[in-house]
Amino acid sequence: MPEHRRGPVRLPQQGGPGEQGQPLDHAGLETLPFDTCLRLLSSVPLGRIGFYADGEVVMLPVNHAVDGQDVVFQAAGGSKLTAAEQQDLVAFEADDYDERTRAGWSVLVTGRAAVVYDEAETQRLGLLGLLPWACGVEHPFWIRIRPTSVTGRRIPGTGAG
């Protein structure tokens, strides 16, 4: 068994089913089905949006929610809003990890960002109770990511160590 800094780690066999019955990727991580990815995204409040701005890749934290199959969040004027106004390709990632059991997951959404301008839609999204990362913003804009790809991986963990 490979050694981990906190003790031995049991790796699943590549290609076969993992502990949850899901297929494994080349690194032995469980690949997650679409509905599980959406459920996991909904289970955590914080994620990171990545996009290209001013010649650099930018990764910024955002509080988010899942609306149907879309990721939504609020933002003030700035680089996130500019990326959404230009309907740029973006990546959104959220994850969770339990240090005690060494179990965790990560979900990656890629798609186009767009600002939500429809007033009825912004009012509906407002009912989600989502607060923007920067609380000092008086009138944040809603941004929606329409996914072109949703992938997820899970580390099943090895139990309490």
Residue-level pLDDT at 2: 37
Q: Are 48 and 90 a contacting pair, CB within 8 Å?
A: no
Q: Give CA–CA dist 156/97, Å, rounded.
A: 10
- Give the burial string for 18-53 (b: 16+ CB within 10 Å, else e): beeebebeeebbbebeeebbbebbeeeeebebbbee
The string of pLDDT tens digits covering residues 38-76 is 999 999 999 999 998 888 899 999 999 999 999 999 988
All residues at 6 or more sequence positions from 157 whose CB lies less than 8 Å from its CB, including other chains: 98, 101, 102, 103, 104
> Which domains are assigned to the chain?
32-155 (2.30.110.10)
Q: What is the mean pLDDT of the chain?
A: 82
Which residue would you say has higher pLDDT here, 71 or 141?
71
